[in-house]
Amino acid sequence: MKRLLLLLSIALLAINPGFSQSQKQLKVISYNIWNGFDWGKDDARRAELQQWVAGQQPDVVALQELCKYTPEKLKEDAKSWGHPYSVLLKTTGYSVGLTSRFPIELKEKILEGLHHGALHCQTNGIDFLVVHLHPGSIQRRRDEAKLLANKIDEIREQNSRYMIMGDFNAHSPYDADLYNPNGPLLTRMKKGDKGKGLEGNLVDGDFDYAVISSFLSLPLGDVVRKHTQGMAQRGSFPGRALAAVNKEQPEELDERKERIDYILVSPELEQQCVNAWVGNGEANWLLSDHYPVIAVFETNQQQ
């Protein structure tokens, strides 16, 4: 039997030199945790989210809205899901962070020109940009996208394995046909966005697709788009946890789902992605006002 397996492996290597019996999976999660668990006051929700992440057994986790966080506090979270390494962007305002099962090399903390800032790290041979774009201005998001696109151009000169992930507060052209112009989402947004132009969140009563399009054109691959269908599967906001805050029924929030959280990856990693989804099922209904984005890659990188 062993001889047969050996012969089969040799045959597979002859057909496909990239085949390896030691091929590994890499699991990545991006999660906006909603005001750092109410600015550090909601320990119960923090514990529940820690438990959920630990159950996913991720290799790398990107977090947004780390409000009232310190490097030590992020290290506690990382430890709870088995990650010995973590990096925090800043200790003020709306911060972002990265945790990993592998050593992390901090490349850059990008603060100038970005509303919340961004974090550039390398771990397990992959460059990660963790972002949280401006929540209320199309023009500011477009400016931020240009700055980040330049960073990605610099990264790919050194590495073909990179991804940008987080809360983009922007909409994808791949989802354009999923938004009903007269549905509850756009109807609600039109009321609050009237007269704001590019300093708001709508262009002529519709979403702006320029920001995500600019990233896709680099090119970057939208891995969730390839593995999901419809907004019921792709929607990353609003989470049902907002129902009580907004005095709405959970079903009302479900009816106005939108996708504003992404994992966008280099062409090489796009080819290695075997699954990607938004965790908007019952397990995550009450953990945050956003839902997590998860992607799994087949990789021959040493782990």
When pLDDT is averaged across residues 112-134 and rounded to a whole number, the result is 98
| Cα angle value 213/255/30 (rounded, 5°) | 50
What is the spatial distance between Cα 171 and Cα 168, in angstroms, rounded to a whole number? 8
24-134+141-169+220-299 has which fold? Deoxyribonuclease I; Chain A (3.60.10)
Domain boundaries, the chain: 24-134+141-169+220-299
Handedness of CA 240, 243, 244, 249 (dihedral sign): negative
Contact 261, 63 (CB under 8 A): no
b/e map 164-174, b = 16+ CB within 10 Å:
bbbbbbbbbeb
Q: What is the pTM of this model?
A: 0.91
* Tokens coding 119: 């974090």
pLDDT at 92 over 90: yes
When pLDDT is averaged across residues 25-30 and rounded to a whole number, the result is 98
When pLDDT is cut at 50, 70 and 90, the band that residue 199 belongs to is very high
Span 141-183, pLDDT tens digits:
999 999 999 999 999 999 999 999 999 999 999 999 999 999 9
pLDDT at 17 over 60: no
* Tokens coding 282: 């019952």
Of residues 298 and 4, more confidence is placed in 298
Nearest Cα to 209, choosing from 239, 242, 176? 176
In this prediction, residue 282 carries a pLDDT of 97
Please provide residue 82's backbone torsions phi and psi, each rounded to the nearest 5 degrees.
Answer: 85, 20
In this prediction, residue 299 carries a pLDDT of 83
When pLDDT is cut at 50, 70 and 90, the band that residue 24 belongs to is confident
When pLDDT is cut at 50, 70 and 90, the band that residue 22 belongs to is very low
Strand bridging mode 126-132 / 221-222: unpaired
Nearest Cα to 239, choosing from 225, 224, 252, 226? 252
pLDDT at 5 over 70: no
When pLDDT is averaged across residues 185-211 and rounded to a whole number, the result is 93
pLDDT at 192 over 80: yes
When pLDDT is cut at 50, 70 and 90, the band that residue 4 belongs to is very low
In this prediction, residue 168 carries a pLDDT of 98
What is the spatial distance between Cα 168 and Cα 117, in angstroms, rounded to a whole number? 12
In this prediction, residue 18 carries a pLDDT of 36
Cα Rg, the chain, nearest whole Å = 20
When pLDDT is averaged across residues 272-294 and rounded to a whole number, the result is 98
When pLDDT is averaged across residues 71-99 and rounded to a whole number, the result is 98
In this prediction, residue 164 carries a pLDDT of 98
